[in-house]
Amino acid sequence: MTDEDDIARGLEDVTVAETRLSSIDGEAGELVIGGFPLAELAGNVTFEETVFLLREDRLPNESELASFREDLASRRAIAPETRETLRAAAEDGLPAMDVLRMGVAAANLGGDADGAGGTDEKQELGDLSDDALTAIAVMPTVVAAYWRYREGDEPVAPREDLGHAANYLYMLTGEEPDEAAVRGLETYLNTVIDHGLNASTFTARCIASTESDVFSAVTGAVGALKGPLHGGAPGPVLEMLIDIHESGDPEAAVRERLDAGERLMGFGHRVYSVRDPRAAVLSDAAESFYEESGDTDFFESAREAERVGVEALAEHKPGRRLETNVEFYTAVLLHGIGIPRELFTATFGVARVGGWTAHCLEQREDNRIVRPRARYVGETDRAWTPVGER
C-alpha cells in the first residue's frame, strides 16, 4: 500500500511535462516567457508578438508580425447564434465567466466544418493551430459583447485595423482608446499570458492529451479559471483597495484590517517566496498609466497600502515573507484603464488563452495521455443484496 506521505496532494512539486513556454523560479522571484525575462518582454512588445513567440519560439520580424496581426484580426467576429446566446445570458444576469465558457464553446459556429473543432476525429496539428488562433481572437469579442448586452447596449463590431488590446477596449466602450490605456492593457496581457502548469493550463493540456479539439480544451480551462482559488482574486483586491483609499488613511486602514483578523488580499503566493515578479511589472505599468492620466491619488494610496501591508504582515506573521502578488497590481491597473471589476477574471482569460493554446499545441507535438493514479480508500468487502432486502 502507498503511504499517506507518498501522495502528492494537488500534484504539488510533481513534474509531468517539459515546456519551452515559461519558467518560474519561486525562490528568486523570476519569470521567463519564451526565453525572455518578464520585465524585458511585457512592456516592450504587443500581445500579438507574445502570442507569436509562444507559438513559434521566436519573435516575429516586421512582415511576419503584420501578416500575423491581419490573420488574428480577421477571426474576431462571432456568429449570430453565439451573440443571441450571449444576449440571453446577460439578460439572465449570469456572471462573465459562465458566459465566456458558453461563448468559447460556440466559437466555431459558422466556420469551416472541415477539420474544425468539435468533430469526433483526431485533429492534425495544422487544424489545431488554426483553431487556436480563432479561440484567441474571439475571446475579447465574447467578453465585450456580453458586457454591452448587460449594460443595455448593442455589441460593437470588432475593427480589424486595431491591435488586439486596443480592439478589446474599443468593443467595450464603442470609443477608440487612448494610447496610455492600450499600453497598460498590452502590458497586462503579456504579463499573465503564461505561468507554468497552473490549474487552468494543466486542465487544457489534460484535455489536449486526449486528442480532443482546442475549443474543448479552452472551454475546460475557462471552467478552471472561474474558481476563486485560481482567477478570482483581483476583484476582492480592488474592493479592499477602494475601501482603504476612501478611508483617507491607508496605514490605519490596513492595520485595522489585520488587527480585526481580516485577510489582506493580494499578498503572498503559493509559488513565490518573494515578491511576485508580475507585481513588479504591473506596478511600473500602473505608475506610468496613472501619471499620464494626471490623477495619481488612487495609485499612491495603493502603493502606501502595499508598503504598510508588507510591514504589518511581517509583524503579524513573523518568519513568512508575504509580499504583493499579481492580483494586487492587476486590480490597480485594470481599474485605472477602465475595465469593469466584473470583467477582471474574464480579462485574465483573454490573456491566458494565448498560453493555454500554446500548451495544447506543445502537448500534441509529443503526446501522451495524462493518466495519473488515485489511491483507493473505500470499502472492499461489500456484497450485493436485492433492493427490498437493504
Residues with catalytic roles: 269, 327
DSSP H or E stretch at residue 283: helix 277-293
Residue 29's φ and ψ, nearest 5 degrees, are 70, 45
Tell me the three state secondary structure of residue 132. helix
Nearest C-alpha neighbor of 351 from the set 129, 48, 99: 48
Name the grid cell of 29: 522571484
Q: What does the H/E/C string look like for 223-264?
A: HHHHCCCCCCCHHHHHHHHHHHHHHCCHHHHHHHHHHCCCCC
β-pair type (30-33, 36-37): antiparallel
Distance set, CA 9 to CA 1, 5, 78 (Å): 17, 9, 40
Residue among 291, 311, 310 at smallest CA distance from 299: 291
